Each structure stands twice: as structure tokens, then as C-alpha cells.
Amino acid sequence: MGSVWSGLVPEARAAPSAAYNWRNVVTGGGGGFIPGIIFNKKQKDLIYARTDIGGAYRWNAVTSSWIPLSDTTGWVDWNKNGVDALATDPVEPNRVYMATGTYTNDWDTNGQIMRSTDKGDTWQVTPLPFKVGGNMPGRSMGERLVIDPNKNNILFFGARSGNGLWKSTDYGATWTKVTQFPNPGTYVQDPNNSYGNDIVGLAWITFDPGTGTAGSATQTLYVGVADKENNIFRSTDGGATWEAVAGQPVGYLPHHGELSSNGNLYISYSDGVGPYDGTKGDVWKFNTQTGVWTNISPVPSSSTDNYFGYGGLAVDAQHPDTLVVATLNSWWPDAKLFRSTNGGATWTGIWDWDGYPTRKLRYTQDISGAPWLTMGIEPIPPTPSPKLGWMIGDLEIDPFNSNRMMYGTGATLYGTNNLTDWDSGGKVNISVMAKGIEETAIMELISPPAGAPLLSAMGDISGFRHDDLTAPPAKTMSVPAWSTTYGIDYAELNPGFTVRVGMADYSADANARSVGLSHDGGANWYKASSEPTGTKGGGTVAVSADGNAIVWSTSDVGVYYSKSGGNSWTASSGIPAGAKLASDRVNPNKFYAYSAGRFYLSTNGGATFTQTAAAGLPSSGAASLEAVPGREGDVWYAGGNENPGPYGLWHSTDSGATFTKLANVQEADGVGFGKAAPGQSYMALYVIARIDDVRGFFRSDDGGASWVRVNDAQHQYARVTTITGDPRVYGRVYVGTNGRGIVYGDPVGGTPDPDPVKQSTISPTSSSFDKKTANQADITVTMTLNGNTFGGIKNGTATLVSGTDYTVSGSIVTLSKSYLAGQPVGTTSLTFQFSAGTSPVLAITVIDTTSAGSGNIKVQMYNGSTAAAVNGVNPRLKLVNTGTSAVALSTVKLRYYYTIDGEKPQSFFCDWSHVGGSNVTGTFVKMATPAAGADHYLEVGFTSGAGSLAAGQSIEVQARFSKSDWSNYTQPGDYSFASTGAAYADWSKVTGYISGGLQWGLEP
């Protein structure tokens, strides 16, 4: 029998609870691998997503966001956050099951099947006699856990580690091994690695619903096994007996198997199980009626163009011959999706080469939900930024809506709601659909007394400056660039100075650095001029109170200090390699260190350390070392482990000469500080701890004499990693998790103090600008900083250039008329950025009173690429009928003016249009009299097949042109070029004509 599991723990006796509201610090994109997405086949909009270390989620159709389902997972049962498989009941949609357990190696415990009858709001648990690998190789294969679509009390689960196939007949409460199943798998990813040397086992299970009736068990099942020689098995008697399917392909591993309603089993194969590997593969179709196997690979493994293998695969439930398959890992130039509407006979790629390095895209991509997904990387054709993804191990089409598709990547969840436009020559709109998923692993958090309320050091995506806890950051900490930031600190008395350390990729850049510095609180970063010789980075870092000294405990070459802002480094003496560091928050000469039960003190900025007489500290286990702001010599240590011990929380008020262990804290793994409670002079303490046999997050307002628990059974977040309070908001606490991102809590009913952020303002907040030459004038803006620093101006995602687009003198910003003259007619919104608080916006109404064509049409435009040098110009044109009667499109001409920059034959392409690309024409005209920014123009016209444009309606033309030798055009300065903007806006520098008469725009 299964045991009931709800995450409940005994109520604390000495530590009462305080009611808190908990929520995530928003990144908007998830930030981690999404190995599985599961649609319910009976109830519309019932969708689940599983993660490898962050639990599971359920889709909220009302808010288009995801609801976390695993936050009741506690400290001890942390491995429930690794979800290796998930099944949603096709008969009773309220039922959902998960196979959980994070690792199959010796550092984890056995796994479990978790079952719910309320769509995951609460769970019951059946322990398994083996381990489950939610974060192991092959975790995006699937699904391994399935429900009989005809008799839903029956479930099957495919295990790892050679444990074979298991079956339940009582809704997952008990499980029995199917001993007749012949092959538990043989493949291991890396036999020489302690992580990758386990058998991957069974990869997926698929029922044939047509071989059963409601209430009677389905008779035919297929199982895919991670084995390169013998991997597809079938049972025709409900799983009693099994045989290998005859004629099956060999040499690759079956990643996904999907059975269409017309009897074809589609299988994606790769030579690796993923998520990181896979360099070859195929897609096969097995006709279950005839027994015929057909290789239907979009790019077969025999081709030199196949360097990726195949992963995610989906069949349209409403159109069984329609399917989409993804490359498992096409690292360059980007991932690729392929779509077929004829059962794999022919395929269309979501992008194709169009003359290297140009690619023809059949998609648009919107990352406004998580703009940091560019990872700070600029696109360099043919490599885009952002990418469509990587590690695309699962891809699903909504069984109720052929237009909706979702797929998981290594960093986010993407999707589309217009998938079928692909089939008619349109573009699929790919956007971030990860709202609510927060899956990052947090290494460290800091909450400075000024600037942004929070900065994070994260695994895989580096980290962020969080100016707004409720909105996705615009960018990661990407200069210098590395995947994981291991440590971060700021100067307490100069909080704008911040240092972080990671592990740079020296193979990609010999001049890379693993230490980054910022003088504006993490808004902008630069790499240090040097670093300790031979280091690969990592470790921890501490900054002196005044910012004049940095001490870095590297992961490999010991402890070093710099008193030159990172320009030079010298080895510290008297301190062991790998020591944990902290700086005194008052005295800039003091640094503290801990290593193997010993405590060390430096009084000369980290140059030398001396072991103190402190005794009784743990010799191993967790170690969190923090010094209290505003109190010299006041240090806290949380750490240790149960075996051999000790374990708990220690306090020193004499710079570590002695420590006192707090008797009221049984175990502690992290400590931090926040604003003092009203009437208190000592900062609030926050700990990750066990107090009175209760694991949780606790706050003390009296220096540790008494504690209140600030989380509850519904907000545990498994084994969390770091904790800190907010020095500007009493009661607010930030907690870093290992797979659920950053969560923060505020007392229920309490209003956050108004003092942490003083808002900067600008005046005016609205203005106007006339593009007519005689009327052009600079715009002057006055800033009231209120203690913040000015950080620049943005127009959408584009950053204005100081000294060119604007100048700053004291608190006065002058916007250049030359910059404003380049903005389109309409409203231009300029966002002023400051070191803290909200970002005020200046709304500028741009008009043009120059005599211009005025008729029954107008043209809106933006450039698909705004790079300075491009080998293809991409004007995106929208023609609007502003009149009262229809216009025959064959009478309309549009002109885009530019300089050719080296005369060569040119080619015109219409990538897409509402009227069909074949009905759009392009003609190149060399101007008899060149004008400023123009010696040629492209004239876009329409054939009679384009028909008419009704009054009030519009059409789009996605045009492109290039030179025969693919040499570059230089776009800045071209008359019609729009240097900013990624959306349609009125553009008078593209002219429009009807029957030869100017109806819109200004000719150069």
C-alpha cells in the first residue's frame, strides 16, 4: 500500500509561526531544462510540464501561466523534485501521476510514484524498491509512465538501472514487476563516469487504444528501450508476453515513440540519449497493420548534413499524418524543427539555408516574456540570438488545437498558437510560454542597502540584477560571460561596487576572465584586467567594506587578494585553499575565513590570515559565513552535518576569536540579515534551519534569542541553498532554491516599508518633435535623482548612445535633434534608467509637417535587421488603405530608398505576404540624381492576382533584397532605413503611389 504524503511536519513548540506571503522572483523564462510536456487527451487546456530538479507544473489557461505542484517537497524528501515521468489520466482527468527521484547514483535514495486525484494539488506516495532518475541522462525520453486509455486503473512504468517494466492495477497504489519483459536496457552514457555509468533503461511506453474498449484493458503496447540493437518491443495481450518488433532499425536509441490514430508508430532516434549529446539519428515510421518500416528522416543519418540526432516528436491528434520532429541538439547555427503533413513523405524545415550565411526563416520569435534569453550574445549570421533552443527532447501538439505547440529547451519553454500557418507559407510565431516556471539553481544572493533590491548568482544562466522582483530582467550578467556565477559580494559602505566570480571558457577566448566587476550595482559589468595565474575560476569572493580590496578563494589555486581593482593579484598567506570567505561590513581591513573547522582572521585587507583560537566549529558539511552590517567583528556561522556533527548556528562578537553555539537551533545551513524590526537595533536574522524538530526558514528579531518560522508546509521548496533578508524592508526574506528559482516572503498584512527605494523622476514626461527640417529642435529633460544614479536611455530594446544621441550635464539630459529626426511619425517612448526604482518614460509625439503625399494609403515599416552591415536588406512593409473605397493593388507602388554601396546585380525576394509572395514584385531603380542617403530605390509592386485592398484593411510584405556577390550594404544613413523599432510604425521615408501619383511619404 502507498503511504499518504502531504509534506506536513509537527508544529513547532518554541518557534511559533508567522504568516507569510510567498512568491517567486520573476525571471519569466524558467531558466532550466524542460524535459517533458504532457497534454491531457480528454480535458482541454489541462497541461503539465515536468522538470529535472524543480518539480512539476500545471497550466493555468486563464492567466497563460504555470502553477507549481511540488512546493510541499521538504528538506529531507528533496528528491521528489526530480520528475522522470508524468502521466495525466485520459479517462478521469483529475488523476495525475509522477515518477520522482533525482539521481540513480549512490548519493540519492530510492524513488517513488506520486499520485493525485485533484490534478496535483495534493499527493499520495508509493515508495519504489529502486531509484528514479529525474536528473539523469535520457530524462527527456518518454514518457516512461503511462495510463491505460481504456482501463485507467492500469499503469505501466519503465524503470532505469536494469529494473525493467513495472505494472499497477490499483491506480498506482501498488506495483509489480513485469518479469516477462525481455530487455531492461543495456545502454550507459559513460561507463567511466560515476554520474553517467548507470543503465538508462526503458525510454517510453505507448498504448494502441484501438485494441481495447472502455472498461477493458488495452491489449497492444509498445515499449522503447535504450539499447542500440534490440529496442522496440510489443505486447498483444495486455503486457503478459512480449516480443521484439520484427525488422526494426538498429544502431540508434529510440527517444520518442508516438502512435497516430491511423496506426502508424513514429519513432525519433539518436545516437545519444540526451540531453546534451546526440550527433546522428533518424526518424522511422512503423505501419502497425502491415509491419512495414520506413525511414522518413527529414535529414537521414547517412547525410553529412545530419549532425544532431532527433529528439522531440509530436503527432497531430486531429490530423494523424501531420507531425513535427525536432533536432535533439543542433548546436550550430540553431536547432531545427521539421513538419510533415503527409506522414513523413516530405518535410519542411522551420528554417532553410538561403545562400550562406543567410537563412530563410519560417518563424518569428518573441522573447518579451524573458528578454534575457539572448544571454547577452549578439547575433552573428548565421547564428541567431536568441536561438530556437537546444536540448529539445520533447515537443507536443495540443490534441484539441492543431495550432498550439509547445516544446522544452535547456533554458525555457517555447510555444506557438499558429502552427498551421507553416503549411500555407506563413510564419510560425514562436514565443516564450514559461510564465510561472522558475527552475533556476541559486548559488548566492545579495540584497545591498542601495540600488536594486536583489542580485543573484545562478547556475547555467549566470544571474541577474533584479530591479523589479515581479518582472523579468532585461539581461543576464553576461559581461564577462560564463554559465554559472559561483560567488557575488558588494562593498557595504560603497554598495555600487560589486564583484562576482565564475568559470570562463578559456578555450573560446584566451583572454577571458573569471572575475567581473561593477561600479553601478550590477547594472553594467566589465572583466578584470587580470586574475590569479593558472586559475579556472569558481570559488567564493568577498569585498572589503570600502571596496578597495577583493579576496578571492578560487576553486583551484588557493586564495588571492587584489587592492588594485583586479588589475593584479597576490596570494594570501596563512589560509588554506578552498576556504569560505566573508568581509567585515564596517572595518575595510578585516576579512574572515573558515576551513575544516578552523577560523581565520585578516586585518590587512586579505594579505595575511591568522587562525584564531575559536573551537567547536564543524569540520565538514555546509558552511555559511556572514558578517553583520553596521557591527564590526560581529560574525555568524551556519553549517555542519548530522554525521559526525556538530551541526547548527554559531555567533561571534569578537571577530571570530570565540564562537557561541545557539542551543535553540538544532541544525542550520544558511544565515542572512535584514532590516531590524521596529524598536530593535539589531538586524533581523534569517536562517535555513531545524528548530524544535521543524525544518524551515526562521526569523529572529532579538539576535537569535527567539525564533519564528516564516514558511509553512505548503512552501518548503525542497533543499534550499541560500537565504538573506532585505536591509531596506523589514520582514522580507529571499531564499535561493536548487531548482525552484528565488522565492521571497513578506509578512501577511504587512506593508513593505516605503523607504527602500526613492524614485527618480524626469520632467517633462511628454513632449513633441517636428521632423520638418526648419522646425527640428533638441529636447531638454531635467532629472531628479533622489540619491540614485542615471544609467542610460532606451528606446524599446535599443540603447541610446551617450554623446551622440544625447548628452548629460549634471541633472540635464539633452536629446539630439538628429536622433529624434530618425524616429518614425507617431509616439516614441524613451525609458530613462536609474540605479533603483521604476524607470520613468518620456513620451514624444513625432510629427512631420513637411509637405508630403497625402492620399488614401499609408505605409508602416520596420527593418528586419538593424545591423550596420548586412548582406541582405529586410524591409518589413505594411500597406494600409486609409480611404473609403477599395484600392486595386496592381495600381500601387512602394519605394524603399538606399545606397547600394558597390554596384552589383541585385535580387528581390518576398519572404511572405498576405497576398502571396508570387503576387509581389520587386524592381531596382538607379536614381538619375542621387539624394542624401539614396542612390537607388526598390520599387515594390503587385500583380493583378493580388486583388484589391478593402477600405480600412492592411496587408504585409516581408521583403528582402541582396547583391549577387552577397557583399554588404551599410544601412546607417540610408534614407529609408529605420535604425530602431521592431514593430510596424508609420514611416514617411518609404513612399507610396497609386497609378503613379504620390499618396504617402516624402521623396528624398
Give per-residue pLDDT as tens, 476-491: 998 899 999 999 999 9
698, pLDDT greater than 70: yes
SS3 (DSSP) at 374? helix
Closest CA to 272 of 173, 187, 153, 367: 187
Query: How far is residue 688's CA from residue 672's CA, in Å, rounded to a whole number?
Result: 9
Q: How many Å apart are CA 955 and CA 889, to the nearest integer? A: 10
Residues linked to residue 847 through DSSP beta bridges, in sequence order: 770
pLDDT of residue 753: 52
User: For residues 456 and 453, what is the distance between their CA atoms, to the nearest angstrom?
Assistant: 10
Give the closest residue to 794 by CA, choosing from 815, 778, 780: 815
Helix (H), strand (E), coil (C) string for 676-724: CCCCCCCCEEEEEEEECCEEEEEEECCCCCCCEECCCCCCCCCCCCEEE
To the nearest 10°, report the CA torsion of 611, 616, 621, 625.
-60
Instruction: Check whether 271 has a pLDDT greater than 90.
Output: yes
Query: Given a cut of 80, is residue 847 above it in pLDDT?
Result: no
Contact 181, 123 (CB under 8 A): no
Predicted confidence band at 5 (pLDDT cuts at 50, 70, 90)? very low
Q: How are strands ordered across the β-sheet holding 559-562?
A: 540-543, 550-553, 559-562, 570-571
DSSP states of 761-821 as a string?
EEE-SEEEEE-SGGG---EEEEEE-TT--EEEEEETTEEPPBTTTEEEETTEEEE-HHHHT
List, as one string, the DSSP characters of 903-929.
---EEEEEEEETT-GGGEEEEEEEEEE
pTM assigned to the model? 0.77
Q: Is the dihedral of CA 569, 570, 576, 580 positive or negative?
A: negative
744-761 confidence digits (pLDDT tens): 999 998 766 544 456 788
- With a cut of 50, say whether residue 7 has pLDDT above it: no
- Residues 209-233, mean pLDDT to the nearest whole number: 98
- Among residues 45, 321, 421, 460, the one annotated as catalytic is 460
Kindly report which listed range (3-7, 160-164, 800-804) carries the lowest average pLDDT score: 3-7
Residue 349 identity: G
C-alpha span between 21 and 749 (Å, rounded): 9
Could you tell me if 601 and 655 are in contact, meaning their C-beta atoms sit under 8 angstroms apart? Answer: yes
> What is the per-residue DSSP string for 283-341?
EEEEETTT--EEE--SS-TTSTT--S-EEEEEE-TTSTT-EEEEES---SS---EEEES
Identify the band that residue 264 occupies on the pLDDT scale cut at 50, 70 and 90. very high
Whole-angstrom distance, CA of residue 281 vs CA of residue 266: 14
Position 35 confidence tier, pLDDT thresholds 50, 70, 90: very high
What pLDDT does 534 receive?
95
pLDDT tens per residue, range 765-786: 878 888 888 889 999 999 998 8
Residues 507-522, mean pLDDT to the nearest whole number: 90
Q: What is the mean pLDDT of residues 893-907?
A: 94
Q: How confident is the model at residue 840 (pLDDT cuts 50, 70, 90)?
A: confident
In angstroms, the CA 36 to CA 49 distance is 6
Strand order through the sheet with 591-595: 580-583, 591-595, 598-602, 610-611
For 599, residues 6+ apart whose C-beta sits below 8 A from its C-beta are 592, 593, 611, 612, 614, 617, 637, 652, 656, 659
419 phi and psi, to 5 degrees? Answer: -60, -40
At residue 787, the pLDDT reads 82
pLDDT band at 10 (very low <50, low <70, confident <90, very high): very low
Does residue 430 have a pLDDT over 90? yes
CA distance readout (Å), 629 to 313, 490, 496, 680, 707 = 54, 12, 16, 15, 20
Give per-residue pLDDT as tens, 810-822.
999 999 999 999 9
3-state DSSP call for residue 279?
coil
Please, which residues have CB within 8 angstroms of residue 59's CB and are 6 or more apart in sequence?
45, 46, 47, 48, 49, 65, 66, 67
Rounded mean pLDDT, 512-527: 91
Task: For residue 853, name the pLDDT band (cuts at 50, 70, 90).
Answer: low
Q: Tell me the C-alpha distance between 77 and 586, whole Å.
A: 40
pLDDT at position 635: 99
Confidence of residue 188 (pLDDT cuts 50, 70, 90): very high
Query: pLDDT confidence of 725, banded at 50, 70, 90?
Result: very high
Report the mean per-residue pLDDT for the chain. 94
pLDDT computed for residue 14 by the predictor: 52
Going by C-alpha positions, the residue among 317, 319, 314, 226 that lies closest to residue 267 is 314
Q: How far apart are CA 471 and CA 490, in angstroms?
A: 23
Q: Is 52 a catalytic residue?
A: yes
Residues 609, 561: contact at Cβ < 8 Å?
no
Of 679 and 767, the one with more pLDDT: 679
What mean pLDDT do residues 878-890 have?
A: 93
Q: DSSP letter for 219, please.
A: -
Contact 84, 134 (CB under 8 A): yes
Q: Which residues contact 17 (CB under 8 A, 6 or more apart)?
A: 11, 708, 709, 710, 712
Q: Residue 142, by phi and psi: left (phi above 0), alpha (psi -120 to 50) or beta?
A: left
Residue bearing the bigger pLDDT, 540 or 376: 540
Q: Is 28 strand, coil or helix?
A: coil
Active site residue 467: no
Single-letter amino acid, residue 804:
T
H, E, C per residue of 61-78: CCCCEEEECCCCCCCCCH
- Residues 233 and 255: their CA atoms lie apart, in Å, by 14
Give 347's Cβ-side CA count (13 Å radius).
Answer: 20
DSSP strand pairing (454-458 vs 442-446)? antiparallel
For the chain, domains (ranges, CATH) are 3-432 (2.130.10.10), 442-747 (2.130.10.10), 761-847 (2.60.40.10), 853-1001 (2.60.40.710)
Q: What is the pLDDT of residue 851?
A: 56
Give mean pLDDT, residues 793-817.
Answer: 91
